[in-house]
Amino acid sequence: DQQVKQNSPSLSVQEGRISILNCDYTNSMFDYFLWYKKYPAEGPTFLISISSIKDKNEDGRFTVFLNKSAKHLSLHIVPSQPGDSAVYFCAASERTYKYIFGTGTRLKVLA
Amino acid sequence: KAGVTQTPRYLIKTRGQQVTLSCSPISGHRSVSWYQQTPGQGLQFLFEYFSETQRNKGNFPGRFSGRQFSNSRSEMNVSTLELGDSALYLCASSAGTGVRLGTNSPLHFGNGTRLTVT
């Protein structure tokens, strides 16, 4: 049972435009959500997080939105840059340090 | 501050053998987690240790085991290797301490150990 789903395996966006990566979850007890970026041959790098008590969190070009009623979160990257090309993972946990990860979305930013 | 260090970076083993992977967390971090990444499966949680105690465990067979030392360094062992164990094994550390309430310190990952079983 995949509790965290990233239904788009890949996404292509023009440089300078907005990238929107989506993530759906099924467990309503998840209370903390993370986004990671991963380059080949490297470990995932933490980008941004959000607690279930919030619906938005911003950090520079990255904004995460959480819609608890829809069990949906999204990561917005504005403006997108070629260096953002990577695989993005969302993750969620239920008050523990056990995180459930999605299968990832490969973002390609076209110059 | 040095990041999470995993050794070795690459391993090639034969079916039936066993393997031990090592992880040194970020200085001061006491929570260490292990994940398996395979193509199409994302990151699958193996286990999490805090102060030498396993706090959480994923759905992996008993061939997968781990431990944590008093200096927070951790090792992961896989016995009787199978072809399907070929994967990238990632270690992550966190500054979090007790039960996680609301927001807390995120996971910081190492670059992983690429295990190939032939």
Q: What is the rounded CA–CA span in Å between residue A91 and residue B17?
A: 32
**Rounded Cα gap, residues A100 and A26, in angstroms:** 11
Q: What pLDDT score does A96 carry?
A: 79
pLDDT at B95 over 90: no
For residues B116 and B81, give the distance between their C-alpha atoms in angstroms, rounded to a whole number. 10
Per-residue model confidence (pLDDT) at position B98: 63
Determine whether the interchain pair A97/B31 forms a contact, defined as Cβ–Cβ distance below 8 Å. Answer: yes
What is the structure's pLDDT at B103?
A: 55
Q: B12-21, B22-31, B38-47, B73-82: lowest mean pLDDT where?
A: B38-47
Q: What is the DSSP string of A30-59?
A: --EEEEEEE-TTS--EEEEEEETT-SEEEE
Residue B101 or B24, more confident: B24
**Does the pLDDT value for residue B106 go beyond 90?**
no
Model pLDDT, residue B101? 54
| Average pLDDT, rounded, for chain B | 91
Tokens of A96: 């523990």
Q: Which of residues 13-42 of A touch B (CB under 8 A)?
A: 31-32, 34, 36, 41-42
pLDDT along chain A (111 residues), means of 10: 90 97 95 93 93 94 97 98 96 88 96 90
| Residue B3 CB coordination number (10 Å) | 16
In this complex, is the C-beta atom of B58 within 8 Å of any C-beta atom belonging to chain A? yes
Q: Which tens digits make up the pLDDT trace of B34-90?
A: 999 998 778 999 999 998 999 889 999 999 999 999 999 999 999 999 999 999 999
Q: What is the CB-side half-sphere exposure of residue B27 using CA atoms within 13 A?
A: 2
The answer, for A11 touching chain B at a CB cutoff of 8 Å, is: no
In the predicted structure, residue B117 carries a pLDDT above the cut 60: yes
Nearest CA in chain B to A29: B102
